[in-house]
Amino acid sequence: MANQVQYIFDQENLRKSAPQKFKSEDLKREEMIINIGPQHPSTHGVLRLEVLAKGEEVIEVVPHLGYLHRCFEKHAEKLPYNQIIPFVDRMDYLAAMNTEHAYAMGVERMLGIDKIIPKRVEYIRVLVAELNRLASHFIALGSYGMDIGAVTAFFWMTRDREHIVRLLEWASGARMLYNYIWVGGLFYDLPVGFEERCLEFTTYLKPKIKELERVVIDNKIFIDRTANVGVLPVDLAINYGITGPMLRGSGLKYDLRKVDGYSVYPEIDFDIPVGKGEAGTLGDCWDRTWVRVQECYESVKIIEQCLEKLTGEHKRTRDFDPRALAPKKIRPKAQDFYIRAENPKGETGFFFRADGRSDVPFRCKARGASFVNLSIINELSKGGLISDLIAVIGSIDIVLGEVDR
Partner 1 sequence: MYAFLFFLNFVLIYTIFAVYAERKISAFIQDRYGPMETGPYGLLQTVADLLKLLQKEDIVPLAADKRIFKVAPLIIFTSVFAGFAVLPLTSDFGGSQIETGIFYLLAIVSLDVIGILMAGWGSNSKYALLGAMRSVAQIISYEIPLGLSVVCVIMVSQSLNLQEIVYQQGIFINAIDPNAQNFLFGIKALGIETTHIGGFLTWNIFRIPFFFLAYLIFFIASLAEANRAPFDIPIAESELVAGFHVEYSGFRWAMIMLSEYGMMLLISFLGAILFWGGWNTPLPNIGSVALADWTSGEPGTIAGHLWGAFWLVSKALLTVGLQIWIRWTYPRLRLDQLMNLSWKYLTPGAIILVLVSALWRLLMI
Contact residues for partner 1 (CB under 8 A)?
Answer: 32, 34, 40-42, 56, 145-152, 155-156, 159, 215-216, 219, 221-222, 224-225, 385-388, 390
Question: What is the rounded distance in angstroms from the CA atom of residue 45 to the CA atom of residue 42?
Answer: 8
Give the nearest distance from C-beta 217 to partner 1 in angstroms: 11
Give the nearest distance from C-beta 51 to partner 1 in angstroms: 10
> Rounded to the nearest 5 degrees, what angle is found at the Cα of 40, between the Cα atoms of 36 and 46?
90
Of 287 and 388, nearer to partner 1 (C-beta) is 388
Of 375 and 387, nearer to partner 1 (C-beta) is 387
* CA nearest to 36, candidates 12, 13, 64: 64
Of 213 and 388, nearer to partner 1 (C-beta) is 388
Of 360 and 390, nearer to partner 1 (C-beta) is 390
Give the nearest distance from C-beta 244 to partner 1 in angstroms: 23
The 3-class SS string of 236-288 reads HHHHHCCCCHHHHHCCCCCCHHHHCCCCCHHHCCCCCCCCCCCCCCCCCHHHH
Give the nearest distance from C-beta 41 to partner 1 in angstroms: 5
Q: How remote is the C-alpha of 205 from its chain's centroid?
A: 21
Question: What is the rounded distance in angstroms from the CA atom of residue 405 to the CA atom of residue 402?
Answer: 5
Q: 34-37: long-range contacts at Cβ-Cβ below 8 A with a sequence spacing of 24 or more?
A: 34/386, 36/389
Q: How remote is the C-alpha of 319 from its chain's centroid?
A: 35
3-state secondary structure of 105: helix
Give the nearest distance from C-beta 130 to partner 1 in angstroms: 24
Give the nearest distance from C-beta 294 to partner 1 in angstroms: 20
Of 34 and 259, nearer to partner 1 (C-beta) is 34
Of 31 and 321, nearer to partner 1 (C-beta) is 31
Paired residues of 342 in beta bridges: 347
